[in-house]
């Protein structure tokens, strides 16, 4: 499953009401580390298909969502289970580090 584009319009349905864990990548087009992280997030989306929902939030297009999660630096990766934040990481992370967030 490809990554979902998360917006304030689909946030509740895709994230809050999800019956599986959700990983959200907060990013921006002008952010170098975000572009480095993008293929890693894509691989996670493919490998965890059906077990984890992977979404991306463009902080320039969705400032309300970024503010709601207190995103001050990007990339920020957040893992939610049952609509609640269980893990947060700021900055570039390896695939193994992100997978570790999902395994905990």
Active site residues: 31, 34
Beta partners for residue 85, in sequence order: 80
67: which 2 tokens?
Answer: 């503010």
| 14 phi, psi to nearest 5 deg | -85, -30
- 50: alpha, beta or left, given left = phi > 0 and alpha = psi -120 to 50? left
| 3-state SS class at 81 | strand
């Amino acid at each position: 499953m490809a990554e979902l584009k998360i917006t304030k319009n689909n946030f509740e349905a895709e994230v809050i009401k999800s019956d599986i864990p959700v990983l959200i990548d907060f990013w921006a087009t002008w952010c170098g580390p975000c572009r480095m992280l993008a293929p890693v997030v894509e691989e996670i989306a493919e490998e965890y298909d059906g077990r984890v929902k992977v979404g991306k939030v463009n902080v320039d297009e969705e400032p309300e969502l970024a503010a709601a999660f207190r995103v001050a630096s990007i990339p920020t990766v957040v893992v939610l289970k049952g609509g609640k934040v269980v893990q947060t990481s700021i900055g570039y992370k390896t695939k193994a580090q992100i997978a570790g967030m999902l395994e905990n």
